[in-house]
Amino acid sequence: SGELYCSLPNPRNVHFESVNMKNVLHWSAPEGTGDGVLYKVKYSVYGVGKWIRKPECRNINRTWCDLSNETSDYEEQYYASVKAFLNGMCSDWIETTRFNPLTDTKIDPPMVSVSSTEKSISIILTAPEKWKRSPEGESVSLLQVYPGLQYNVSVLNKKTKKRWWFSISNNTLVVPWLEPGTAYCVSAQIHVTTPLLHSGFSKEHCIATLKDKTA
Amino acid sequence: TAGNKIFQFGPCKVSMSMTEIRSGFNAIKTNIQARDPIRTLSILSHPHSLHKVKPSDRCCITHHLFNFYVDKVFKHCKTEDSYVNRKISSIANSFLSVRRKLGQCHEQNQCMCGQESTEKMKQILGNYEGLNVTSAAIKSLGELDILLDWME
């Protein structure tokens, strides 16, 4: 009768991977199954009664599914679930743990731009944007999502290897009283106190202070 | 203490060890939420989200929510796991001290609940009473991040 017999091993490690609230469901293939396994995906808003199928992830052979669009309201929490099919057999639906986009996302480092004078360098930091549906879509900075967002900034004197640390809330920093004609390297990290989130450090941006004209 | 944050709820200003509470909850979140099999019901966020509460009602509804968690949730959340129980009691103690401060200010300032948030609290209690006590308490505890996210 074409009834599917659900004794296929289950997909494993079904979980959300989220960066800047781009929320992608990932999983591993069932144990011992080679090629040819297909998958279906559904998701639900926690507290709301129904599971919703994701048509773009129906009968797919890849092991991920982008659910950013469906989980973009970060005032809600979500579950997602995956089912595997192979040769007329299927697995159980395997669910994620409850996903909270606000606390469970990872944040990219800030963009860093630097300029210099003889004795100072100016640093401008830009927090990454929240994932958006399309390039034309409205840009929302993570600063708006996390009002308590701060920046940890490291400034290294390449000559003396001396390093300073700054923790700032606004996005600009001027470091005064530096040595003319000297290279300094800047790196920055985003830090949110609650919920506790922090990005990695940006790559180093190096710049030299101008030479002392009077020397 | 480190990680204390000052919250303004209408006329009431309360300091709260948010980092401590958040890290305590994060340590047991997966464990507690895994004990709650009901996906189709939320105590706090459906059918109406906390985020729809008017700013003028924040003082009153926060006061009632802290009473709810202290009086109806934490005491019914005993588990067989001593680590989880310790984390729960640490969070409960933080809530107790905030409730006391908030209660005093709430009395002095007569924070009034508007009709909307009275409805909201009725709905929360209704959702809670729709389950047996242990399930309702565990579900409410599993939704603590919903409350904390809203407060922040």
Check CB contact of A94 with chain B, cutoff 8 Å. no
CA distances from B130 to A57, A79, A165, B37, B85 (A): 36, 22, 53, 15, 25
Check CB contact of B18 with chain A, cutoff 8 Å. yes
The confidence score (pLDDT) of residue A1 equals: 46
Q: Are residues A201 and A132 in the same domain?
A: yes
Average pLDDT over residues B123-151: 95
Closest Cβ opposite residue A75 in set B34, B41, B49? B49
Domain final residue pick, A62, A78, A102: A102
Residue percentage of chain B with pLDDT more than 70? 97
What's A137's DSSP letter?
Answer: S
Check CB contact of B125 with chain A, cutoff 8 Å. no
What's A145's DSSP letter?
Answer: H
Shortest Cα–Cα distance, A71 to chain B (Å): 15
The confidence score (pLDDT) of residue B52 equals: 81
Shortest Cα–Cα distance, B108 to chain A (Å): 29
Q: Are residues A95 and A117 in the same domain?
A: no
The confidence score (pLDDT) of residue B49 equals: 79
Average pLDDT over residues A46-57: 94
Nearest CA in chain A to B18: A194
User: Check: CATH 3.40.50.150 for B4-151?
Assistant: no
Q: Are residues A89 and A116 in the same domain?
A: no
Q: Are residues A94 and A22 in the same domain?
A: yes
Query: With an 8 Å Cβ cutoff, are B19 and A194 in contact?
Result: yes
- Domain harbouring A23, CATH code: 2.60.40.10
Check CB contact of B123 with chain A, cutoff 8 Å. no
Q: Are residues A137 and A81 in the same domain?
A: no
Number of domains chain A is built from: 2
Q: Are residues A97 and A115 in the same domain?
A: no
Query: With an 8 Å Cβ cutoff, are B148 and A194 in contact?
Result: yes
In a domain, A7, yes or no: no
In a domain, A150, yes or no: yes
In a domain, A213, yes or no: no
In a domain, A5, yes or no: no
pLDDT grade, residue B89 (50/70/90)?
Answer: very high
Q: Which pTM value belongs to this model?
A: 0.91
Question: Which residues, including other chains, have CB under 8 Å from residue B65's CB and lie 6 or more apart?
Answer: B121, B124, B147
Check CB contact of A73 with chain B, cutoff 8 Å. no
Q: Are residues A39 and A76 in the same domain?
A: yes
| Contact assessment for residue B67 and residue B113, using Cβ atoms and an 8 Å cutoff | no
Give CA–CA dist B99/B13, Å, rounded: 12
pLDDT tens digits for range B24-66: 999 999 999 999 999 999 999 887 778 888 888 888 899 899 9
Q: Are residues A79 and A126 in the same domain?
A: no
* Count of beta carbons in the 10 Å neighbourhood of residue A85: 17
Structural domain for A194, as ranges: 111-208
Domain final residue pick, A102, A120, A147: A102
Nearest CA in chain A to B127: A47
